[in-house]
Amino acid sequence: MLRVENLNQYYSGSHILRGLSFEVEPGKVTSLLGRNGVGKTTLMKCLMGLVKSRSGSIAFNGKDITHAPSHERVRAGIGYVPQGREIFPRLTVEENLLMGLATKPGGTKIPDLVFELFPVLRSMLNRRGGDLSGGQQQQLAIGRALAMDPKLLILDEPTEGIQPSIIKDIGHAIRTVARRNATAETSRSIEERQEVQNAIRRVADTGQVAILLVEQYYDFARDLADHYLLMERGEFIMRGLGADMDKDGVREALAV
Task: Report what 11 binds from ligand ADP, Mg ion, none; CB cut-off 5-8 Å by kind.
Answer: ligand ADP
Q: State how far the Cα of 147 lies from the Cα of 7, in Å rounded to an integer.
A: 30
Contacts (CB under 6 A) with ligand ADP, residues 22-41: 34, 36-41
Residue 159 near Mg ion by CB under 5 A = no
Smaller CB separation from Mg ion, 28 or 45: 45
Q: State how far the Cα of 207 lies from the Cα of 232, in Å rounded to an integer.
A: 33
Smaller CB separation from Mg ion, 14 or 194: 14
Shortest distance, CB of residue 177 to Mg ion, whole angstroms? Answer: 22
Shortest distance, CB of residue 41 to Mg ion, whole angstroms? Answer: 3
Shortest distance, CB of residue 92 to Mg ion, whole angstroms? Answer: 28
Contacts (CB under 6 A) with ligand ADP, residues 183-212: none
Smaller CB separation from Mg ion, 84 or 240: 84
Task: Report what 150 binds from Mg ion, ligand ADP, none; CB cut-off 5-8 Å by kind.
Answer: none
Shortest distance, CB of residue 180 to ligand ADP, whole angstroms? Answer: 28
Partners of 201 in beta bridges: none
Shortest distance, CB of residue 256 to Mg ion, whole angstroms? Answer: 18
Smaller CB separation from Mg ion, 61 or 216: 216
Write the binding mask 20 to 59 for Mg ion: x where contact by CB under 5 A, - elsewhere: --------------------xx------------------
Q: State how far the Cα of 106 lies from the Cα of 218, in Å rounded to an integer.
A: 39
- The set of long-range contacts for 205-209, using a CB threshold of 8 Å and a minimum separation of 24, is 205/61, 206/61, 206/77, 206/151, 207/26, 207/181, 207/182, 208/1, 208/26, 208/27, 208/151, 208/181, 208/182, 209/26, 209/27, 209/150, 209/151, 209/152, 209/153, 209/177, 209/178, 209/180, 209/181
Q: Note the Cα 235 to chain centre separation in Å.
A: 20
- Sign for the CA dihedral angle at 58, 59, 63, 68 comes to negative
3-state secondary structure of 167: helix
Q: State how far the Cα of 23 lies from the Cα of 5, in Å rounded to an integer.
A: 9
- How many residues interact with ligand ADP (rule CB under 6 A)? 10
Shortest distance, CB of residue 61 to ligand ADP, whole angstroms? Answer: 25
Q: Which residues bind ligand ADP (CB under 6 A)?
A: 11, 16, 34, 36-42
